[in-house]
Structure 1
Amino acid sequence: MSPLKLYYSPISTPSRAVLMAIRNMNVDVEVVTLNLGTGEHKSAEFAKINPRMCVPTIVDDNFVLCESKAILMYLPHKMGMCKGRAFYPKCARQRALVHQRLLFDSVDFYSNISDLVNLSFSDEPILTVKHKAAIVGALNVMETQFLNNGDFFVGNSATIADFAFCSSVAALIAIGFNINDDYPKLSEWYERMGTLKGFNELSAGAQQTGAMVRKGLKNSFDDL
């Protein structure tokens, strides 16, 4: 069987979440790195694979899947209980909580980080109190609700939700937001994530994202 093929960019926060999950599930993978800055994701070759021309995208034999959360949910099924299901609970209620966390990351947390990336390329790249408030609101939920009953976002072992949040938090830190002072549970969780496979790879990509965003912005969170 051919290895899973992952089309990926290190500056893509969703891409980094998927790759960290793959590393921890020991998936046999071929990583195809696309340079988003030069438009490699818009090539005719890649458009044939994914007409949306977005990363991450996986190709598993003849099966093509994009959207990071969908990929994160697919990987445990592909790998089976021994390798993948440890990161995706069998219990329906626990699994529902994983899905809830993934949706929260997409809608309430990562979306705000994506806004910062877009802001850095805009005509008025200035962080405002509104930008910070949106992020603080999400962080407060993560700190007081999601991390209130265990070491990870659902219980005491890492799930696919943790890979999604890890990539988002790493990007936020790299952009210049300090989580250490006001979010002790989140900070401790992030340290725990640092012991898992693929974290250094994820962190290095996040630093690239952060440097790009900081270069484009005219101010920082410290100014607010």
Structure 2
Amino acid sequence: MSKLMLYMAPGSPPSRSVMMLAEILGLQMECKLVNLIKLEHRTPEFKKLNPLMVVPVLRDGDFVLSDSHAILKYLVSAYGGRHQETLYPSELKARAVVDQRLFFNASVFFRKVVNDVAFPTFLGAIKAPSEEHIANIEETYGVLDEYLQKSRFVAADQLTIADLSLGASATAAQIVHKMDAKRFPHGAEWLSRMEKEPVFQKVNAPGVELLGKLMRKFWREANEA
């Protein structure tokens, strides 16, 4: 195995999803911090790694890959070992469901939480989440709750890489708008279980705490200005 390096930010849900997988697989991965507040992801050097200028980015020897969902699939396929079949099953239909949940996170859940709320917060464009932001997040909670009526985890009856991806986004979403257990009982029960998973407590929770502190600080300062 070549040396693995992850360009990441601990407050970034996509970064944390990859870091959680590395923890589960026992991968020796060097993490290189990219300070998003200081716009280090917009430097010419980082743009050469990822023209989209977002984290995470994986370097595996000479191979460079961006997008957390692609990285999750690559790492579990290349280094999953005994965990591969449970985290990313090879059976066609089971794998397709995992992929679908990953695409849901990429195109809907993460975008409504981070792209629409966190990024504008750090750019000073909003002073707090709007009613539209809250409504959009509630809509994603509803979809997630529907998925969880079909299986114990988001894509299967065991934890998969889709849980790492959606779990990282869902825990970040609680900073903006907490999930109502009465309205979304399946989602709330799943989220509670995820937060108790050792890998979530060790890897994900500190990043969520950091992100929450940063967002609340920016909101407070924007409202005091």
TM-score, length basis structure 2 = 0.87
Please tell me whether residue 91 in structure 1 is matched to residue 126 in structure 2.
no
Cα shift at 1:98 = 0.8
1:5 aligned partner: 5
Supply the distance in 2 between the matched residues of 1:179 and 1:16 (Cα, whole angstroms): 24
Output aligned runs, 1:58-207, within 5 Å: 58-114=58-114, 115-120=116-121, 121-143=123-145, 145-193=146-194, 194-207=196-209
Structure 1 unaligned residues grouped into runs of 5+ = 219-224
In structure 1, what residue type is equivalent to 2:217? K
Supply the distance in 1 between the matched residues of 2:84 and 2:11 (Cα, whole angstroms): 25
Supply the distance in 2 between the matched residues of 1:169 and 1:92 (Cα, whole angstroms): 27
Cα shift at 1:124 = 4.1
Would the aligned equivalents of 1:20 and 1:163 in 2 still touch at CA under 8 Å? yes
In structure 1, what residue type is equivalent to 2:89? P
1:123–1:60 distance in 2 versus 1, CA, 3 Å: closer
1:209 aligned partner: 211
Count matched residues: 217
Supply the distance in 1 between the matched residues of 2:26 and 2:76 (Cα, whole angstroms): 11
TM-score, length basis structure 1 = 0.87
Supply the distance in 1 between the matched residues of 2:209 and 2:101 (Cα, whole angstroms): 24
Supply the distance in 2 between the matched residues of 1:195 and 1:124 (Cα, whole angstroms): 33
1:221 aligned partner: none
In structure 1, what residue type is equivalent to 2:208? A
Q: Specify the SS of the correspondent of 2:82.
A: coil
1:222 aligned partner: none
Supply the distance in 2 between the matched residues of 1:88 and 1:183 (Cα, whole angstroms): 26
2:223 aligned partner: none
Supply the distance in 2 between the matched residues of 1:88 and 1:191 (Cα, whole angstroms): 22
Would the aligned equivalents of 1:34 and 1:41 in 2 still touch at CA under 8 Å? yes
Supply the distance in 2 between the matched residues of 1:80 and 1:50 (Cα, whole angstroms): 25
**Residues 126-172 of structure 1: CA deviation (Å, up to 9, x unaligned):** 432221111111101111x2101221011210111100111101111
1:181–1:93 distance in 2 versus 1, CA, 3 Å: same
Q: Specify the SS of the correspondent of 2:58.
A: strand
Out of 56-65 and 32-41, give the one that drifted further.
32-41
- Which has the larger share of helix? 2
Supply the distance in 2 between the matched residues of 1:189 and 1:174 (Cα, whole angstroms): 17
Would the aligned equivalents of 1:20 and 1:199 in 2 still touch at CA under 8 Å? no
Would the aligned equivalents of 2:175 and 2:212 in 1 still touch at CA under 8 Å? yes
Would the aligned equivalents of 2:179 and 2:188 in 1 still touch at CA under 8 Å? no
Q: Which runs of 4+ in 1 moved over 4 A?
A: none
Cα shift at 1:203 = 1.4
In structure 1, what residue type is equivalent to 2:74? Y
Would the aligned equivalents of 1:25 and 1:84 in 2 still touch at CA under 8 Å? no
Supply the distance in 2 between the matched residues of 1:18 and 1:199 (Cα, whole angstroms): 15
1:18–1:109 distance in 2 versus 1, CA, 3 Å: same
Structure 2 unaligned residues grouped into runs of 5+ = 221-225
Supply the distance in 2 between the matched residues of 1:59 and 1:24 (Cα, whole angstroms): 19
Supply the distance in 2 between the matched residues of 1:139 and 1:147 (Cα, whole angstroms): 11
Out of 88-97 and 40-49, give the one that drifted further.
40-49
1:152–1:117 distance in 2 versus 1, CA, 3 Å: same
- The Cα RMSD (Å) is 2.1
